[in-house]
Amino acid sequence: MSVALGTTRPLPVRTTHVGDPGDLLAALPRTAPYAWIRNGEGLVGWGEAARVAVPPGPGRFAWARQWLATVFGEAQVDDAVRTPGSGAVAFGSFTFDQDSHGSVLVVPRAVLARRGGHAWLTTIGEAPLERFTPVRDPGRISYGDGSLSAPEWEHIVARAAKRIREGELEKVVLARDLVATAERPIDVRLLLDRLARRYPECYTFSVAGLVGATPELLIRRTGQEIESLVLAGTTPRGTGPADDLARGAALFASTKDRHEHECAIASVRQTLAPLCSSLTTPDEPELLVLPNVQHLASHVTGRLADGASVLDVVAAMHPTAAVGGTPTSTAIQVIRELEGMDRSGYAGPVGWIDVHGDGEWGIALRSGLVQGRRARLFAGGGIMGDSDPAAELAEAQAKFRVMQYALEG
């Protein structure tokens, strides 16, 4: 059911404790699954009590918060759990570019959640009756070029690096897409299960056809406390333990990657400082090792000064330098000029928010848009003045492997 701003009806919301449900993803019916899972914990949802397409434009986050305030404000909530993620919850996905269509907020009819040894179920109205069908493999997968071929993408990387050397900007993040076509309709539940098992440290998500496993936590709000994980600087995994260690050491010592990471941290610090009474950023990044790549990573923590909701913080932070560039406005213009495609929800904020303004939002990396037998996969990387187009292409191809594994197994 689509619900427009100003025409909502009160939502009867009930949250109760339940026993350990086991695998949360196994509870999902086939239709329109919603998910946010890490290390077996998080939230899954199905059905739609309310849904809205968020209009594009610079005021889209404010519009979204107003819509949520109306829907949540009129909800009749009976919440026996009273923890972040209980009561009314909305899942959301926002496009990378504020001027693109495709941002959406959905309040599921049912949300099953587990965190810290507790599990709960939220239902809106009568318990939704959904038909649970066996998960089906999509069969053989074939791939084709997306908006640009590999040589064309290398060419735009070279053009971007030249503009950086000429002083127009410090960094720009360029993305590319790959089209996957399956023999049979793609079951999102199968992708979620494979991603959650192979990448348990990532945030496995599903919102309105956008599916992926992102390592990057844009923001988590729990009361006044906030946390962010900044990733910038990447290298593929090695062919063996010794090669792996060497690649990690080279990444940590790389002037290009360290500068890219410093740009990302500076962007987050500059954005969050006005919202926070306290903010802590590390002096040195650490190495985050995932099954397919290694990243330079920094944990950022803080305390909000004025009680802003998680969506307010998302609005202030997006786009970060890690997915846009530095300076942001120039980088966004260069992306629009060079990339030759609409990123849709890729590299945009994805996550959930509850009735109290708590929630978790990531950056939709390592992801794809799934529709029927077709999936549009995305990957990208930070371009600096000394970037090598062939190396950047190899990095993007390594990142594609996350969703290729989800499709192929």
Catalytic residues: 171, 216
Q: Give me the phi and psi of 364, to 5 degrees please.
A: -75, 75
Residues 264, 322 contacting (CB under 8 angstroms): yes
Pairwise CA distance, residues 240 & 267, whole Å: 35
**Which residue shows structure tokens 């990957």?**
379
DSSP labels, 87-144: SSEEEEE--SSTTSS--EEEE-SEEEEEETTEEEEEEESSPP------------EEEE
Rounded-to-integer distance, Cα 236 and Cα 291, Å = 9
Instruction: List all residues 6 or more positions away from 373 whose beta carbon is below 8 Å from its beta carbon.
Output: 138, 181, 182, 183, 184, 185, 186
Question: How many residues in total does the chain contain?
Answer: 409
The Cα 337–Cα 339 span in angstroms is: 6
Residues 6+ apart with CB under 8 A from 195: 202, 204, 211, 212, 213, 402, 406
Rounded Cα distance between 271 and 304, Å, is: 12
Q: What share of the chain is helix, strand, coil (3-state, %, to 5)?
A: 30, 35, 35
In terms of Cβ atoms closer than 10 Å to its own Cβ (0-12, 13-18, 19+), residue 118 is middle
Other Cβ atoms closer than 10 A to 372: 11
Q: How far apart are CA 330 and CA 166, in angstroms?
A: 14
Which DSSP state fits 128? P
Asked if residue 12 lies in contact with residue 19, where contact means CB atoms within 8 angstroms, the answer is no
Which tokens in the block code for residue 83?
């923890």
